[in-house]
Amino acid sequence: MSEDALDYARLVREALLEVPRQALLVAAREGLSGEHHFYVSFQTGHPGVSISPSLRARHPEEMTVVLQHQYWDLAVGEDAFSVTLRFAGAPERLHVPFAALTAFADPGAEFGLRFDGPGEATVTPEPAAAGEAEGKAEAPTDTVVDIRAFRRPDEGESAKSGEEEPEPAG
């Protein structure tokens, strides 16, 4: 047996990537109930990520999207998910491999995962943020969402910043 056969960091990361996959499957089948909503951050340059050239130009490294009330055609596969969201009023179809994820949070459940790098993942409770947008008609397109805002003050500085929140459809 080679030394790499039991790469536990890789095994843990792969297992934890199943959590957002299962949560997205539930959302695709049943919708999101109550206070549940997802912040999904991903590497825009990762192989297999499909976003419009304008989104890639605005987010050359990482992007955070919010799935709450206004998302369409959520499809979840074994290795990736696709969803339609509105940006600057225009619908955009995104395709994101789970391997591209850098963070997943459900503030309504006070839960979050941070995928820090290859083979690294962190599980943290994610408290719901005070004053979070609840179905606002128009969000500015240059809003930056810092995932650290969803951490408790007593937690360590383990999260890096997220990116833009898409505007809800009107």
64-99 in b/e form (b: 16+ CB < 10 A) is bbbbbebbeebebeeebbebebbbeeeebebebbbb
User: CB count, 10 Å around CB of 139?
Assistant: 16
Query: Mapping DSSP to helix (H, G, I), strand (E, B) and coil, where does residue 43 land?
Result: strand
Task: Please write the tens of the pLDDT for every residue from 30-66.
Answer: 999 889 999 999 999 999 999 999 999 999 999 999 9
pLDDT for position 61: 94
Give 57's contacts (C-beta < 8 A, 6+ positions apart): none
Is the model's pTM score more than 0.95?
no
φ, ψ of residue 147 to 5 degrees: the values are -60, -20
pLDDT for position 9: 83
